[in-house]
Amino acid sequence: MLFERFDGIAGLRSLASIIDYAAEKYGDHAAVWVRRGDDELVISYRELRSLTARVAVGLADAGVEGKPVLLVGGLSWEWFLSFCGIVCAGGIAVPADREFDGAKLTELAQRTSAAFVVGDEAILESAAVTDLLAAEPGLTTIDFSAIDTFSEHPCDPSQVNHFPDPGGHAIAVYVQTSGTTSVSKIVPLTHDNIASNVASAIVYVNEMDLGAIIPVLPPHHTFGLSTGLFVPILAGQTLCFGGGVGRIANDMKYFHPTILVLVPLIVESLHKKIWLEAERQGRDGQLRKAISASRMLRRVGIDVRTRLFKRVLEPFGGRLAIIICGGAVLKPELIEEFDAIGIQVINGYGITECSPIVSANSMMESRLGSIGRPIKAPYGEVALIDDEICVHGRTVMHGYLNDPEATAEAFTKDGWFKTGDLGNFDEDGFLHITGRKKNLIILSDGNNVAPEELELALSESDLVGSVVVTSETREGREQILAQIFPNEDYITEHAITNVKEQIDEFVAELNATLPGYKRIRRVVLVSHDFEKTSLGKVKRYLIPS
């Protein structure tokens, strides 16, 4: 059954209104499916609304309205219900990175003036939270058992059906930026920021069948929070909570998801697993032939992918049809190969300050190498100003928390948010990223080099694990430098001893295809991988220039 068109979504102004809209539209359809060992819990969309209302009332009685609430631990059903309750009670959710130690949790709590901390019993008794509470003894703790108690409380029927919400202008979350090019900032996003961005995303996936999704990405990033949780809710998908990231392989076989929201690092990992398994079974040659045959047959309108790649798709649950990918550049050849075996990869582009989606390819139309078509009114507008991608509209934050100087620098005089990414539109309106403005290497001869272009080309080598391209001055001349952390797993597996020599050969071949000013003049192998964000992006500001 294909979705009906989404009447009225432009009027959604809060996360509460999304939950309410979904309850009315999908009713008894499963919103949440939870697996704990041999036990299962299935919650309908109407029940999700009722539970959220009850939890919101309980949290409001606890005093969270208008207060920042630190939400700690990994993503789970209890985490999600707590989040919904916090924001619908008028609190400000502050999702924390599950890897944060006590010092980082304390810093986040202090920067956001957190008044509460919510998590399960084990997390609240962990060393990280113990250190946090020692530094900030005024914090009130609420564990998930209290959330369960709130969900069982009697509640006025008017609060269960079309329950009150804080309104679009109220702040819903404080999100910490990933900090790839500078020290992280705190982004306040209103209910309307997120709700309008979630609504804008439906145009990219409005041909989806009702199905299941396993949330994988960390919810302290807007991509995981918005696209991984609330877009599926608005689209009528079933959120499946199982054993967490460490047991995703088992969960895929159990829940049979039809869609996953991932970052390129995970997509690349899934791609490698497909080929490693094929090689282990001695079927890699057969798989290559099947992919070629699939492509030829589809050119003449014959699609046998479901039957041809049944064994390949089984580890993903057998029904996976769509991967939504964002967070970094994805190699076009991966998109083509997944498509050949029956999985459509929809890639796009977003940034925390824009809640986060700015542009995306869609189920109906896409273009390899692009980040798709940008969001449009009434949600937002995208324009190029001096080649920089800039955004204006409902999805854009109003400013950084307690940082007027950074806020002023982030916007043009006309109020357009400057993403810091350079891009261009092709003749059909598809947006392409050409580089990061802050990373742009401006050589002494006036030529500009986008390091991301070279990094993507270098990563084509199986010998390259991570790479950062910068410039250096040697003997009075500025030139391009590539710092490479080798792919240790590949090197060990293939017993390669002359790593530097083989990488130099690859770079020489690459240089032969490049104009002189873009050529990589020196390669340095580093002994430790670069420090990265939880989405796998290198923190460039930590790389010595």
User: What are the domain boundaries of the chain?
Assistant: 15-166+210-257, 261-435, 440-542
The amino acid present at 438, given as its one-letter code, is K
Average pLDDT over residues 316-338: 89
CATH assignment, 440-542: 3.30.300.30
Q: What are the CA-CA distances from residue 292 to residues 41, 299, 339, 345 (Å)?
A: 43, 11, 12, 18
Residue 53 CA, chain-centre distance (Å), reads: 27
Among residues 423, 434, 478, 472, which one has the least CA distance to residue 456? 434
Q: How confident is the model at residue 445 (pLDDT cuts 50, 70, 90)?
A: low
> How do residues 239-268 score in pLDDT, each as one tens digit?
999 987 778 889 999 999 999 999 888 888
Architecture of domain 261-435: 3-Layer(aba) Sandwich (3.40)
Q: How confident is the model at residue 276 (pLDDT cuts 50, 70, 90)?
A: confident
Answer positive or negative: Cα dihedral of 48, 50, 55, 56. Answer: positive
- pLDDT for 3 equals 42
Distance CA 190, CA 355 (A): 9
- pLDDT for 545 equals 56
Which is higher by pLDDT, 480 or 38?
A: 480
Is residue 5 predicted with pLDDT exceeding 70?
no
Distance CA 16, CA 52 (A): 9
- pLDDT for 179 equals 60
Residue 512 buriedness (CB in 10 A; 0-12 / 13-18 / 19+): exposed
> What pairing do the DSSP bridges indicate for beta strands 30-36 and 238-241?
parallel
- pLDDT for 1 equals 36
Answer positive or negative: Cα dihedral of 207, 194, 63, 185. Answer: positive
Task: Tell me which DSSP letter residue 209 carries.
Answer: B
Q: How confident is the model at residue 182 (pLDDT cuts 50, 70, 90)?
A: low
CATH assignment, 15-166+210-257: 3.40.50.12780
Domains 15-166+210-257 and 261-435 share a fold: yes
Highest mean pLDDT among 3-17, 81-95, 298-312: 81-95
Residue 233 buriedness (CB in 10 A; 0-12 / 13-18 / 19+): buried
- pLDDT for 156 equals 58
Residue 157 CA, chain-centre distance (Å), reads: 36
Contact 382, 390 (CB under 8 A): yes
Residues contacting 189, CB < 8 A, separation 6+: 171, 172, 173, 174, 175, 222, 355, 397
Prediction pTM value? 0.85
Which residue stretches of 113-247 are H helix?
A: 121-124, 127-135, 144-152, 157-160, 191-205, 222, 231-235
- pLDDT for 517 equals 84
Q: How confident is the model at residue 124 (pLDDT cuts 50, 70, 90)?
A: very high
Distance CA 524, CA 475 (A): 17
| Length of the chain as a residue count | 545
Contact 212, 316 (CB under 8 A): no
Distance CA 239, CA 228 (A): 9
Q: What percent of the chain has pLDDT over 90?
A: 68
Is residue 153 predicted with pLDDT exceeding 90?
no
Q: What are the CA-CA distances from residue 256 to residues 52, 248, 249, 315, 363 (Å)?
A: 26, 11, 11, 9, 20
Please name the helix (run of DSSP H) or strand (run of DSSP E) that holds residue 453, with its range, or none: helix 451-458
Among residues 402, 400, 484, 470, which one has the least CA distance to residue 442? 470
Question: Roughly what angle, to the nearest 10 degrees, separates helices 77-88 and 144-152?
Answer: 60
